[in-house]
Amino acid sequence: MREEVLASVLANPRVEPHLAIWGWQIATYLFLGGLSAGLLIFSGWVVATRRVGRAPFAANRAPLIGLIILSIGMGTLFLDLERKINVWRFYAYLNPTSPMSWGAWILIAVFPVFALLAVAGLPDGFPQLAGKLRELPVVGKSTMAPLIDMCGVIRSPLAVAGIGLGVALGIYTGVLLSGFNARPFWHSALLGPLFLVSGLSTGAALLVLGAGTAEERHLFSHIDLGLIVVEIALVFLFLIDMLNGDALQQHSVFLVLGGGATELFWIGFIGLGLAVPLTLETAIWQRSTALIAGVASVLVLVGGFLLRDVMVTTGQQTSWASFHNQFNASLLAKLRTDGENPNGRF
């Protein structure tokens, strides 16, 4: 036998749970970041391919909603920082080997493009708001009106840039985790594509919920169906990747195959978040009803969050080091062959 026990304490999350690396803030940030990336990509696609008339919500309203969602996500990211006063340091440095650093700079690039696309969508998406902006005292006529007009003119190039940046943002949310060799459960290049597809899928789900016309709802629930199928394939590839990985990965994947995160992963994410929406959306493939499409979309959104939550929480529990941090009575019981109760003397 081989047993490694801590003779002193270790300031480690598996000894002190309150020292856990990332909590709900990062899971929420990854979810909202992926969701807004999905909205940005679809919005860009609709505008770039001149489908604005067929998908008015995606083209005109989604960018502003996505921008707000991304801002909330960045807010929760900020909440997670243990030393908030130094937040500006992200933008005083670029570390090419750090996904976190890339992410910070991608966010800076995404934000203005997203904002300008949102402004371009205002006149048709939120006419009242556009009107108010144009009539603002001082800046209304001199700045706002020309800005709204200019965004309308450069809308197509903005849309194309938005698609590229959206893909970067969506992939980054996965690469942020997969870049850590130190955490076996995250160390799979499949997380990038998986999180991107999940981001697209949640984006499509939100577009179904907000769809302006039945045609638009139809379009995005069809797209979402395809994305769910791809996502299921990627999830299983990820599990296979882990099961065929090294001993650490094989061990870590059991956290979702019988371990502590199993219910959340299989019932929550795979069941409610993927399988049920897949079934519902297949059932309404021909004749869509707003209610069923809406239920499916809400479930997709819940599933998207659960995926991030399970990955973030489970991954950080996996590590190269493993100690027993307390007296292990069951181990002692195995050692004793004379039948004496090992706990009797303590």
Residues forming the site for another protein (CB under 8 A) = 1-12, 16, 19, 21-22, 80-84, 86-87, 89-90, 92-93, 95, 97-101, 103-104, 179-183, 316, 319-321, 323, 335-337
Half-sphere exposure of 16 (CA within 13 A, CB side): 7
**Structure tokens given for 296:** 């499916």
Q: How far is the CB of 332 from another protein (least distance, A)?
A: 9
- What minimum distance in Å lies between the beta carbon of 14 and another protein? 8
Nearer to another protein, 29 or 114 (CB): 29
In the bound state with another protein, the residue whose beta carbon lies nearer, of 1 and 138, is: 1
CA 176 to the chain's CA centroid:
11
Kindly tell me which of 84 and 287 has the beta carbon lying closer to another protein: 84
Q: What is the DSSP string of 223-290?
A: HHHHHHHHHHHHHHHHHHHHHTS-HHHHHHHTTTTTSTTHHIIIIIIIIIIIIHHHHHHHHTSSS--H
We find the least distance from the C-beta atom of residue 254 to another protein, in angstroms, to be: 20
**Structure tokens that stand for 69 in this block:** 């969602």
We find the least distance from the C-beta atom of residue 79 to another protein, in angstroms, to be: 11
CB of 15 vs another protein, minimal distance in Å: 9
Rounded CA gap, 22 and 103, in Å?
Answer: 16
Residue 83 three-state SS: coil
- Taking the least distance from each CB to another protein, the nearer of 137 and 320 is 320
Q: What size, in residues, is the chain?
A: 346
157 Cβ neighbours under 8 A, 6+ residues apart: none
Q: Using CA atoms, how far apart are residues 47 and 159, in angstroms rounded to an integer?
A: 6
Contact 311, 317 (CB under 8 A): no
Q: How far is the CB of 316 from another protein (least distance, A)?
A: 6
Cβ nearer to another protein, comparing 254 with 323: 323
Comparison of 43 and 76: residue with beta carbon closer to another protein:
76
Opening angle at CA 336, ends 7 and 346, nearest 5: 55
Label residue 138 left, alpha or beta by phi (over 0 means left) and psi (-120 to 50 means alpha). Answer: left
Find the shortest distance in angstroms from Cβ 313 to another protein: 12
Q: How far is the CB of 288 from another protein (least distance, A)?
A: 42
The two structure tokens encoding residue 336 = 């004793």
Cβ atoms of 39 and 69 within 8 Å: the answer is: yes
By beta-carbon proximity to another protein, the closer residue of 107 and 270 is 107
Alpha helices in 98-213 (DSSP H): 99-125, 127-134, 139, 145-153, 155-178, 191-210
